[in-house]
Each structure stands twice: as C-alpha cells, then as structure tokens.
C-alpha cells in the first residue's frame, strides 16, 4: 500500500515538473485515473485530481473533463477540511477563461497572486501576471491588457526571470493583431524574437520564428520573408528530430512558395513533408496531398493534379473530413473549368456545395451542443448555490435566528425566480440564433452563385475589349465584390446599399453588352433610402434574371426598369423588362440545350419564406408576363412587396 502511494506521488510530481502536453504519456494518465478507484489518503487523492485537471485543460475538446476533475478536487477539499492549493484555483481560472468567462478568471487569480507573493515565488508570480494580462485582453480590455504585460516585463527584468518576457511580447503582439494595428504588432513580434534569442531557449526561438512567419504571410503578404522565418524554425526542429514539427513547418514553407508562385520549390518542400507524414494522421495527409494537387494544377500538369486530388479525397473519406472535402472539390471544379470540362466542373461544384453546407450545419450543431452544455453547467452551479443556501438556513435555524431564516427563504425564492427568468431568456436567445444561422446559410448559397456568373462576364469582356475598358470593368467589379462581401455580413442592408450593388451590376452588364439594353432606376422621393432596410441581395437576382433570360435574347433596344414606391405599410418594388418573355426564354434555352440550372430565384424565394416565418412579415413576390395589343409576349414584370423595416 505504501509503495503504491509513493509511486502515485512520484507520477504526479513527474507531470507537474515536465508539463506534459495533451497526447503524451496516456498510459501514465490512465494509471492516475485508475488510482482514484483505490484507497488513497486525502492529500494524495487531492493532488491526483489536480494533476488530471491540469492535464485535460490543455485541449479544448476535454475542457469539461478538466472542469469535472477540478470540481471533485474542490469538493474533496471542502469535505475533508483541506487547504485549497493555489494551483487548483489557478486551474479553475484558466478553465473560466477557456469557457469565455475571463472576468471571473481575473477575480479568481487575485488570491493566487497574493499567496505567491507571501511564498516569495517570483517566477510563478510573473506567469500568473501573464495569464491575467491575457484574460484581461480576452475580456476586451485591450489597453489594460497591454499595460499588465508591460509591467510584467519590468518585473521579469528586475528578477532576471526566464521565458516571461518573450511570452509577454507575444501577448502584446496578439493584442495588436486583434486591433488590426499591424505596425505595432510587427514591433512586438520583433521584440518577442529578440528576447527569445537572448534567452537561448531553442523551443521559444522556433515558436517566435513561426509566429513571425505567419505575420509576414497573412498580414504583409511578404512570402519570401515568411519562408525565411519558417526555415529558421524548421532548422531548429530538425536539430531536435521533431518529425511532427518538421512536417508542419515544411508544409508552411511549401505553402508560401505556392503563394509566391514558385511552384517547383513548393513541390520540393511538400515532398520533404511527406517523408515525415504518417497514416495515423489522415487529415494532415489529405491536406498535404490536396495542396500538392493545387501546385500541379497551377503548373497545368492536370494529370498529376487529378492523381493527387484523388489521394487527398481517399484520406478525407477515411475520417469523413468534410472541411477538406469541401475545398478540394471547389479547387477541382476550378481546374475543370480551366480545362474546359464543364460537366466535371459542375459535378465537383455540386459536391463542394454539399460538403460546404454540411460543414456549416456541423459547426452549428457543435455550437448548439456547447451552448447546451454550458447552460446545464451553469444550472448545476446555481443548484449547488441553492443547496449551500439551504444548509446555511438550517444552521441559522439551529442557532435560533428565526427572523434571518425567513429573510434567507425570501432571498432563495428570488434567486430561484431570477434563475427561471434567465433560463427562459437564454432558451429564447438560442432559438433566435438558430433561425439567424439558418438564414445566413441560405444567404451563403446565394453569394457564390452570383460571383461565379459575374466572373464569367469579366472573362468574356477581357477577351473582347481593349485594356482601358478592361481596367474600367475590373475597377467596377472590385467595387461590386467589396460591396457584396460587406453586405453579406449582415441580415439587412439599407435600400441605398442594395441599390448601389444593383447599379454596379447593371453598369458591368451594359459595358459587356454595348447597346444591347439600357436601364432606368426610379425611386419614390418619400422613401428614406438610408433608414429603410431590405434583406441583403434580395432584389439583385430578379434583375439578373431579367437580363440573362429576357433582354439577352432580344436583338436590340432592350430596356430594364426598376421602380420603388412607398405604399401604406410596405415598399412596392417593380422590375420590368421588354425582353422576349418567360415562355420564349424557356424555348430558347431548350434549343440551346443549356445544362445550367439557375438556383438564384429558387434560393431567393426560399429566403423570402424563411424571413416571413422568422420575423412574421408578409413579404411576397408576383411575376407576370407582359403582352402587347396582339397578345404577343413583350416582356416580364416582377413585383416585390417589401415590409417597411428600419
């Protein structure tokens, strides 16, 4: 029995000293967990629970496992009247920050720092202050976070502490990255690297070079500088024979060569990366093979590209990796368009959309499950608080404080009532969030379709016109894309913003089809285009449909009218064209044997139905065929009834 206790104590000390990461020495962790089912003295059991909580908090997927172990440690200390170690409180604070409660984490760390100061442990004090700075920054207090980091740097210099200063400069760099202050971020990263080199810790130096490489690649688009930084980190990991890091860094170097259009160099490093790859990590294998395929695609070696795309998809299917399957099928679709194999391009684009939609749903389900778990956890904590309150009431009853008992009961009822109110509010918020995410998904399906059609217009125009006109076309297109991307982040946009998108789109189409058609936009003066809002990208698909299926099949003198007028409780929007009409357009499409199926109108109609269901509006659309005096088709009229929103 004594020998077993000694072994468990030694094993616990080993984890504390080595700071093993998640995935290391699982056998030792398993032994610690099994030891909890044996007879242990209270102190040993407490330390074992703390060690397990510290281990599991390092991975996001096991945060609640860590929380469970830490909670058991607190309960044991309370039950056995043991002093709560500061390490346990520190772990609780780290879990609070990881679970999006940084304010509570900061409060928990105050007694930890006070105890460390009494024990005179400057290294741990500095580590605690770096964590407090991070939690402060994470809570949105950016300036205060930087101030704590800077003060901690001074403290570390004064006490000649290791690892603290580089970590603080990294934290400051991350704050500036969040604030999009790239200049200050670069200064902080340089200090992070300089301090790491000064301390001579190869692991920290490698991480500093890697972080700098990421900055140059993602912020500066300076791929050569990024490659140089990644190579420095790669050399360090090679000297340590760290195969996992060698593969990751080789991939980073290869990717930046690819971004810099140095495809041969990119292939060399991807090949080096594969030497260290293992089938135990199919996701990494799939990602690497997919990137190799992209290199060959850009080199126009389509045979090799198809081969490596196939290998990538094989590894994806082994683990049902829908993220990699999504972008791989999108890149394959782009490749087949370049090759002129439009049937293959269409098939892979459909696969891309299917996997992309599944990915959105998976992320939503995970978020919903996480929200439910957090809600249940908070409910349990409130239940424990109520139980503690009842125990206190019983103790007061024993001592005869009858009046105080009555007051405590009233407080308990108020707390319970507030808890129920909060629960109902949270469930309501979750329901609303579900509806918004569903509608966002439909909007996501709309935007790529529109952009794809517009890119086809650009390609056609560049082959048919001069450089000056092409530059003008591209300028308008870039403005259009920027507007679409800005608007796609929100559910509703002002009528002014929606009209700007339509105006740019019409200008592009009239430039492309010179003298083919003209357009008129008439807006009622009573409509406040800045205050009144409409669903994002709702009107544009009908304008596009009028041009593509009505006016483009007309020889000349095409006219498109867009009118908006203010009615009693809605905005009346009319899109009218003098094209060939829907029946003639359908016959022309059959004659041309067109394989493309336009989803824009169907998606828009689905969005209208969904908006009506969520917001209780009465938005609707009416489409009518126009006839002349001889009952011949002379165009199409679309009427949109849009509720007034502001």
pLDDT at 85: 93
d(CA 187, CA 192): 9
**8 A C-beta contact, residue 484 and residue 447:** yes
| CA separation, residue 338 to residues 267, 297, 303, 331, 345 (Å) | 21, 9, 13, 11, 9
Write down the mean pLDDT value for the chain: 82
Q: What angle do CA 490, 134, 119 make, to 5 degrees?
A: 160
Interval 578-628: pLDDT, tens: 988 888 888 877 776 555 555 567 767 777 777 777 777 788 999 999 988
Q: Which of 575, 573, 589 is nearest to 626 (CA)?
A: 575
d(CA 191, CA 94): 26
Q: Please report, rounded to a whole number, the percentage of residues in the chain having pLDDT higher than 70.
A: 80
Kindly state the helix (H) or strand (E) to which residue 25 belongs, with its residue range: none
> First vs last Cα of the chain: how many Å apart?
74
d(CA 630, CA 608): 35
**3-state DSSP call for residue 292?**
helix
Q: How many CB atoms lie within 10 A of CB 56?
A: 22
pLDDT at 126: 95
HSE-up (13 A, CA, CB side) for residue 97: 22
CATH 3.30.565.10: does it fit domain 492-646? yes
pLDDT at 318: 85
| pTM (whole model) above 0.85 | no
Quote the tokens at residue 11.
């094993």
165-179, 349-363, 582-596: which is most confident:
165-179
Q: Which of 175, 128, 180, 136 is nearest to 152 (CA)?
A: 128
Backbone angles phi, psi at 522, to 5 degrees: -125, 120
Q: How confident is the model at residue 513 (pLDDT cuts 50, 70, 90)?
A: confident
Question: Residue 298 contacts by C-beta under 8 Å, 6 or more apart in sequence?
Answer: 258, 261, 263
pLDDT at 383: 57
Quote the tokens at residue 343.
């049937």
Contacts 24+ apart (CB under 8 A), 70-79: 70/95, 73/46, 73/49, 76/42, 76/45, 76/46, 76/49, 77/46
């Amino acid at each position: 029995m004594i020998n077993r206790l000694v072994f468990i104590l030694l094993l616990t000390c080993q984890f504390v000293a080595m700071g093993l990461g998640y995935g290391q020495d699982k056998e030792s962790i398993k032994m610690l967990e099994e030891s909890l089912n044996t007879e242990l003295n209270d102190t040993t059991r407490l330390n074992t629970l703390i060690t397990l909580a510290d281990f599991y908090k390092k991975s996001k997927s096991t945060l609640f496992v860590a929380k469970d172990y830490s909670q058991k440690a607190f309960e044991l200390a309370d039950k056995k009247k043991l002093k709560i170690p500061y390490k346990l409180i520190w772990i609780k604070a780290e879990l609070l920050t990881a679970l999006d409660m940084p304010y509570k984490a900061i409060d928990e760390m105050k007694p930890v720092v006070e105890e460390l100061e009494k024990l005179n442990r400057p290294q741990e004090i500095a580590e605690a202050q770096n964590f407090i700075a991070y939690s402060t920054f994470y809570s949105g207090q950016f300036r205060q976070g930087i101030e704590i980091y800077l003060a901690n740097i001074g403290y570390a210099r004064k006490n000649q502490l290791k690892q603290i200063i580089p970590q603080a400069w990294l934290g400051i760099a991350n704050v500036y990255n969040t604030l999009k202050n790239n200049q200050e971020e670069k200064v902080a990263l340089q200090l992070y690297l300089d301090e790491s080199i000064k301390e001579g810790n190869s692991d920290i130096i490698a991480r500093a070079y890697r972080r700098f490489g990421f900055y140059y690649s993602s912020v500066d688009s300076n791929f050569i500088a990024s490659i140089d930084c990644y190579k420095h980190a790669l050399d360090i990991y090679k000297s340590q024979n760290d195969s996992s890091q060698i593969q990751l860094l080789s991939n980073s170097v290869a990717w930046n060569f690819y971004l810099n259009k140095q495809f041969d160099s990119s292939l060399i490093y991807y090949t080096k990366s594969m030497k260290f790859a293992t089938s135990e990590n199919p996701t990494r294998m799939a990602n690497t093979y997919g990137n190799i395929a992209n290199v060959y695609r850009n080199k126009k070696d389509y045979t090799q590209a198809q081969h490596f795309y196939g290998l990538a998809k094989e590894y994806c299917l082994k683990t049902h990796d829908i993220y990699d399957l999504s972008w791989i099928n999108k890149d394959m679709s782009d490749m087949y368009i370049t090759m002129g194999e439009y049937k293959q391009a269409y098939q892979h684009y459909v696969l891309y959309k299917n996997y992309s939609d599944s990915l959105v749903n998976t992320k939503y389900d995970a978020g919903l499950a996480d929200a439910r778990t957090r809600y249940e956890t908070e409910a349990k904590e409130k239940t424990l608080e109520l139980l503690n309150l009842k125990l206190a009431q019983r103790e007061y009853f024993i001592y005869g404080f009858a009046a105080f008992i009555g007051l405590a009961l009233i407080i308990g009822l108020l707390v319970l009532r507030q808890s129920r109110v909060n629960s109902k509010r949270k469930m309501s918020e979750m329901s609303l969030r579900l509806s918004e995410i569903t509608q966002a998904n439909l909007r996501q399906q709309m935007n790529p379709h529109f952009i794809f059609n517009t890119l086809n217009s650009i390609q056609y125009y560049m082959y048919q016109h001069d450089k000056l006109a092409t530059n003008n076309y591209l300028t308008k297109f870039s403005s259009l894309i920027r507007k679409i991307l800005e608007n796609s982040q929100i559910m509703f946009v002002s009528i002014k913003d929606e009209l700007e998108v339509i105006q740019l789109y019409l200008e592009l189409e009239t430039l492309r089809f010179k003298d083919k058609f003209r357009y008129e936009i008439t807006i009622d003066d009573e409509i406040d285009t800045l205050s009144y809002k409409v669903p994002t990208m709702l009107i544009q698909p009908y304008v596009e449909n009028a041009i593509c299926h009505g006016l483009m099949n007309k020889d000349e003198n095409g006219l498109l009218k867009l009118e908006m007028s203010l009615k009693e409780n809605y905005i009346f929007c009319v899109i009218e064209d003098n094209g060939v009409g829907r029946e003639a357009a359908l016959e022309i499409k059959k004659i041309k044997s067109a394989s493309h199926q336009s989803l824009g109108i169907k998606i828009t109609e689905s969005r209208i139905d969904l908006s009506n269901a969520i917001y209780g509006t009465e938005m609707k659309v009416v489409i009518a065929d126009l006839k002349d005096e001889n009952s011949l088709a002379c165009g199409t009229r679309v009427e949109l009834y849009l509720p007034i929103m502001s």
